[in-house]
Every structure is written in structure tokens, then in C-alpha cells.
Amino acid sequence: MTISETPTLASRNQLAERPLIWLGAITAGVVVTNLFAPQILLGQIGRSLSMPAWQAGLISTLTLLGYALGLLLLVPLVDLVENRRVILRTLGCAILAASPRRLRRSHSCSCLRPSPSAPPARRFR
């Protein structure tokens, strides 16, 4: 490889990295939006679920605390374990936690079932 070929190789590598940079930027934007979007909707969420204001406020608070706890635990872990293994295991845990099979069990959380005294949910068109 000669000196004149070096800038060509560097520019090809930069072009190959651009889609990854965009993917990372979009992913970060979606994560941040999911963290802060409930704050705007807390009043509507609380009214639609017949929650007191303090309980509706916990939606946003617990979301941000969970994110901070994830950062505290996962960022140092990436320095100790191979990135691919951490990503795959984290993704696997997230899939298991979000699987609808867990909600169909008979001992599921009572907060997911509508209470008989709660007013019927309004449907928006």
C-alpha cells in the first residue's frame, strides 16, 4: 500500500461507518423519547387509569430510576465482559421480561386487571 492509497481507504471506512452512526443516533433518540414522553402524558394516564397524582408520578420516576440503575450496572459490565455477550444476554432478558406469556399466568399482577369499581375506559377515535 502506498501513501497515495491511504486517504481512499480511510474515506471508504468512514462511508461504511455512517449507517452505524445513524442507527446509533436513532436508537438513542428512541430511548430518550421513551424515557421522557410519559412525563408529558402523566395527567392523561392518571385520569384514564383512575390513579391519584402521586401514583401517576411514579410512572415517570420509576422509569428514570430503572434507566439509571441499568446504566450503573451495565456500563461497568461492558468493560469486564465481551460486548456481544452482554448485548445478547441483555436482549434475551428484555424479551423474556416483555413476553406476553408472563401476563397470561393466573398469578399475574392484579394491577393489570381492571377493577370492577373502575369506570369503563374511554375509547378515542
Q: How confident is the prediction along the chain (125 residues), in pLDDT tens digits per residue?
A: 555 555 555 566 666 688 888 888 898 888 888 888 888 888 898 899 899 989 988 988 998 898 899 889 888 887 888 888 888 888 888 888 888 766 665 554 555 455 555 555 555 55
Q: What is the pLDDT of residue 3?
A: 59
Q: What is the distance of C-alpha 117 from the center of its chain?
A: 32
Backbone angles phi, psi at 68, to 5 degrees: -65, -40
Question: Tell me, what's the pLDDT at 82?
Answer: 83
Cβ atoms within 10 Å of 56's Cβ, excluding its own: 19
